[in-house]
Structure 1
Amino acid sequence: MKLIPNWRHAWRLASVRVAAIGAVATTAAAAAPDTALQVWQSLPDAVRDVVPSPVSRWVTPVLFVATLVARILKKREATDGE
């Protein structure tokens, strides 16, 4: 196994950022489930009605899929000018 070229700049990759968000969210929810519940209950009723209640079991798989998608999609080059 070898490191990718310019591995020190890996934090710039979208897949690394999505994975980091997933790791932080999952760790926070596992470390303080009561806080996650309080945040959910503090949301306005209109917001809670839009989001189905079993959404929590889909958060982690969606973040993993988003990481895969972010990794395989071609990004614009910084020199494209667009």
Structure 2
Amino acid sequence: MASEREYRIVIEFCVWCDYSPEALSLSQFLLNYFGTEIKELLLIPTKGGKFEVTVNGRLLHSKLDTGEFPDTDRLLRTMNEMETL
């Protein structure tokens, strides 16, 4: 029997920068795509221009590093290729 993937996702987003809509949209997108494979989805309001996506303890995207919001196709590819716990 194949084991189901398990994802623990943390999205940290700057409230002062009004990144809440992007965080909510990405959360909904990931829930629709992965469904019950998501075991935990945590939204952390923060400040300082952050929009970071961490999956199973691995930072997959940082807007502070790239200057952009995450590309969902790239994020999905990376998550699908991950070894999960």
- TM-score relative to the length of structure 1: 0.25
More strand by share: 2
Question: Which structure has the larger Rg?
Answer: 1
Structure 1 or 2: larger helix share?
A: 1
- TM-score normalised by length of structure 2: 0.24
Q: Which has the higher contact order (CA 8 A, sep 6+)?
A: 1
